[in-house]
Chain A
C-alpha cells in the first residue's frame, strides 16, 4: 500500500480537480472563442456606437468601458463556471469525486482554482487585445503596460475567486440546470449594470448611486479602472479592502455550502 501524508494527499487532490477542469476548458474551444469575441463586440459595437456621441471625463468611451468589460468577462465566466457543477451532479461524476478520500474543502479549492484559471486565460487574451488596440490607435487613450496589465490581473483574480465561489454555492444548492436563465437575468445582469462598467458613478441619482455602492463588482471595476486608466471613484485602497473582504466571505460560505451539500 502507498501512504502519503494527509496534507500531501489534499494538495494532490486539489491538483486533480484542477487538472480535470483545465483539460475540459482546453477542449471546449468554442467556449474560449466566444468568451473573447463577446467582449470585443461590446467594445466595438456598443462602445463605438455610444462613444460617438459622448466622452467621459476627457476619456474616450471605449477606453472608459474597457476595464468594465474585463470585469464583465470575469463575472459571467466565473459564476457560470461554478453553477456548472449541476451537470456533474446530473450524471454521477460528482459522486466519483466526493467518494474519493480527500476533503470537500480541497474539492472546493480545486474547483475555484479551475474557474480562476479559465477566467484569467480569457483576461490575459483580452489584455493583449487591449494593448494592441491602444497601440494601433483603434481605442485612443488606452495604454496598457506590462505593469498595469499584471496589476489588473491581480485584482481580477481576487474577484474571480469570489465569483466562482458564488457560482459553486448556487450550483451546490440547485437541483437542475433549469435555473441557469434565472441566474443570468436576476443576478448577473443587475450586478453587471450596477457595477459602473458602462457609466461613471459620480453623477447618479441617489437611488441608483446607493445601489451601485451595494454591488461588490463596483469596486472591482473601480480598481481595474484605477490601474489601467488612472481614474477612480473610491481610490484603490478602499476598493481592495472590499474586494478582499468579499472574497474571504465567499470562500468561507462556499466551503460551508460544500460541506453541507447533499447528493
Chain B
C-alpha cells in the first residue's frame, strides 16, 4: 500500500520553481530517501507534505489524506523532525515531550507511557530531567527523533537528520533510525545530501535535482546502472579520443579538471588507461557509489563539504514569506 503519493506536486517562489511536477510513491513500511544537493527542493517538498507550505499546483496524499484539502487529518498522521533544532532548550527533555503529547491531544496515561518508551528507545532516560541546553547536538537530535514518533504517526519525516553532527553522532543516529523503523513499524521519508547516509538507511531513494527526480530505485540498483568500476583521474588535457576507442571503457565524463571513467575490470585495465589518457596527477579506483550515480544522472557531483545544508532552501523560504 502507498503511504504517500504525490501528483504533479509543484512549488514556485517568485517565478523560481523549487519543486517541479514531482511524482512519487512511498510504500508503507519503507525508508524512502530524497537525495540531492542543497537547494534541490528537498526541504520544500517536505514542507508541502507536512502541510506547512501550500503547493503552487498539484497535490499529494499522505496516509490517504489530501495535503491541500485535509491538512488536519494529514497532521494527525505524521511526525516531523525538522532540519534546525526544534526543541525548546529552556525546557527539559521530559518537558519537551510532555508539551508534544499535549499538542497532539494524547491522554495523560498514554502520554506518560510513551514518554518512557521513546526516551528508552533513544537512550535518554537518564537525562530526561536535564535542560535541553545541556544536551549535545546528537542528544538533542535523538530527543527530537523520539518526539517525532511519540504520538504513533504513520509516517515520520526526517529533514537532514544528521546535518551538522559529528561523524560519531551520525552513525549513532543511523542506528536509532534503523531500530525505530523496525520496532515502531512506521514509514520514514528522509532528505539528505549525504551519500553514505542515503546508502546506509534507505530502502529506496529518489535522486532529486532542480526540483525534479532524476532517478528512483534502491541504492544497489542505482549503483548497478553504472555498470562497472569507477576510475577517477585528475589530468590536464586528457586524450579523450584515444580513451573512447578502448573497448573496456564504457562511459567518459569530464568535470572540474577530472575525468570519470566507467570501466569493466578496472584492476586489469588500469595500466592501459593511465598510459593513454595523458599526464596523470592522481587516480582513484572504486566500486560505484551513489556519488557516481548522481554524477551519472546530473553531470555534477554533490558537494558534501557544504554542511550548512539547506541554507539555500532557507533563503528561499525567507523570500517566500514576502509573498
Contact = CB atoms under 8 A, between A and B. Distances in A.
A8 B105 contact: yes
A20 B83 contact: no
B72 A101 contact: yes
A91 B133 CA distance: 13
Interface stretch (B49-57, B171-179, B247-255, B260-268): B49-57
Interface string B77-121: 010101111111011000100111011111100100000000000
Interface residues on B, range: 35 or more
A35 interface: no
Given A20-B88, A24-B91, A99-B51, A92 B104 contact: no
A13 B105 contact: yes
Given A12-B105, A263-B53, A1 B152 contact: yes
Contacts of A178: none
Contacts of A96: 80, 82, 86-87, 100
Interface residues on A, range: 20 to 34
Nearest to B53: A263
A97 B50 CA distance: 12
Contacts of B76: 101
Interface string A65-98: 0000000000000000000000000011101111
A160 B50 CA distance: 34
B318 interface: yes
A99 B75 contact: yes
A43 to B, nearest CB: 30
A83 B259 CA distance: 54
B103 A97 contact: yes
B320 interface: yes
A102 B85 contact: no
Contacts of B275: none
A193 interface: no
Contacts of A263: 47, 52-53, 317, 321
Contact of B102 (A12, A28, A92): A12
A175 B321 contact: yes
B323 interface: yes
B86 A95 contact: yes
Given A4-B105, A92-B83, A263-B321, A24 B99 contact: no
Contacts of A102: 103, 105
Contacts of B152: 1
B47 A23 contact: no
Contact of A16 (B50, B72, B84, B99): B99
Interface of A: 1-2, 4, 8-9, 12-13, 15-17, 19-20, 23-24, 27-28, 91-93, 95-102, 175, 262-263
8 contacts: A4-B105, A12-B102, A19-B102, A27-B131, A95-B52, A99-B80, A101-B76, A102-B103
